[in-house]
């Protein structure tokens, strides 16, 4: 689900919409099951004939990739000017989301990267994009390898 569009509800609350792609049944199952403050919330699903739209809560600050504006090249090396407290907050939130999805929901995200870590206007960080996620069956929980494509 790569296409994203912003949409405004009638009560002026912004939400984010992802449009359908070929195989997202697994993501639908997972996102409708997630109820955690560290994971992006599914607000609803809209179907229109052969199209399906997933409605997510709106994260004003987009992904933490936006932080690249805080990186500067000094002597051909990247120097980070992101406050350590912000970095700690991001790490703590991501680890809390992992704890929830691994221990309570028993699935593996499989696509954790900066573009899938979102931040709202209040600085709350949430894990998103569960399209590659997979529920873990007993065989995989016991240590067999997950195919990373």
CB 26 within 8 A of CB 134: yes
Phi/psi for 31 (5° steps) reads: -65, -30
- Which residue's entry shows tokens 């809209």? 46
- CA–CA separation, 137 vs 125, rounded Å? 28
Residues 6+ apart with CB under 8 A from 73: 79
Q: What angle do CA 144, 27, 43 make, to 5 degrees?
A: 140
Catalytic-labelled residue, pool 50, 75, 111, 129: 111
Give yes or no: 129 in active site: no
DSSP bridge partners of 75? none
Output the CA torsion 25→28→29→35 (10° steps).
170
Catalytic residue annotation: 111
């Amino acid at each position: 689900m790569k296409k994203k569009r912003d949409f405004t509800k009638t009560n002026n609350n912004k939400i984010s919409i992802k449009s359908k792609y070929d195989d997202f049944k697994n993501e639908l199952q997972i996102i409708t099951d997630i109820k955690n403050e560290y994971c992006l919330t599914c607000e609803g699903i809209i179907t229109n004939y052969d199209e399906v739209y997933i409605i997510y809560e709106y994260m004003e600050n987009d992904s933490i990739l936006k932080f690249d504006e805080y990186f500067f090249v000094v002597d051909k090396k990247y120097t980070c000017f992101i406050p350590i407290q912000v970095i700690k907050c991001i790490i703590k939130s991501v680890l809390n989301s992992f704890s929830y999805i691994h221990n309570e929901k028993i699935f593996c995200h499989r696509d954790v990267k900066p573009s899938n870590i979102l931040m709202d206007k209040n600085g709350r960080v949430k894990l998103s994009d569960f399209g590659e996620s997979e529920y873990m069956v007993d065989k995989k929980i016991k240590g067999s390898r997950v195919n990373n494509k």
